[in-house]
Amino acid sequence: MKQVTSKMRVTFRGAMKCYLIFCTLHDCGCPTCDVFTKCETIRFVDSPGDTYGLIPLDQYNQTAEFNICWDHRMLMNLISWGDRQFARARDLDLDVSGHKQNTKWLDTVVVCGKVCKISIEIFCPIQSAPVFYHQCYA
């Protein structure tokens, strides 16, 4: 069976630079989702045994797109650019899954007293229209 992938769009608007931080709950191990296993990582004070991925959002109005398979599942949120050592695992509250087609998560986070907004959208892949066959009788 062919693996089905979706497009994940992350839009960040903020008054300061942040990191998109995530914890993979289900790692499918597929090459589509490699971007989530090959990025910079960090450990949190409240969860020292786990590793979390970091994606820098170093522009104040930034959009990033990733392919994600339907089996991949992550918890995500924003952390401050300068406060990586104080990040906490319990702050990851956006539960994002590749199979949740046409879904959008929105969150507003106050980071160092400044408002930052994030939206994460999952788009279903473009599929061909179903083919209908009609039997004609004479």
Ordered per-residue pLDDT tens for the chain, 138 residues: 456 788 888 888 887 788 888 887 777 777 777 777 778 888 887 877 777 888 888 777 888 888 888 888 888 888 877 777 777 777 788 888 887 878 888 888 777 788 888 888 888 765 544 444 334 333
In angstroms, rounded to a whole number, what is the distance separating the alpha carbons of residues 108 and 111?
9
Query: Ramachandran region of residue 112, left (φ > 0), alpha (ψ -120 to 50) or beta?
Result: left
Question: Tokens for 121?
Answer: 């959208």
pLDDT at 2: 57
| pTM of the predicted protein model | 0.72
What pLDDT score does 130 carry? 44
Nearest to residue 80, comparing CAs of 50, 106, 42? 42
Q: How many whole angstroms from its chain centre is CA 27?
A: 13
Find how far residue 110's CA is from the centre of its chain.
19
Residue 82 per-residue DSSP state: S
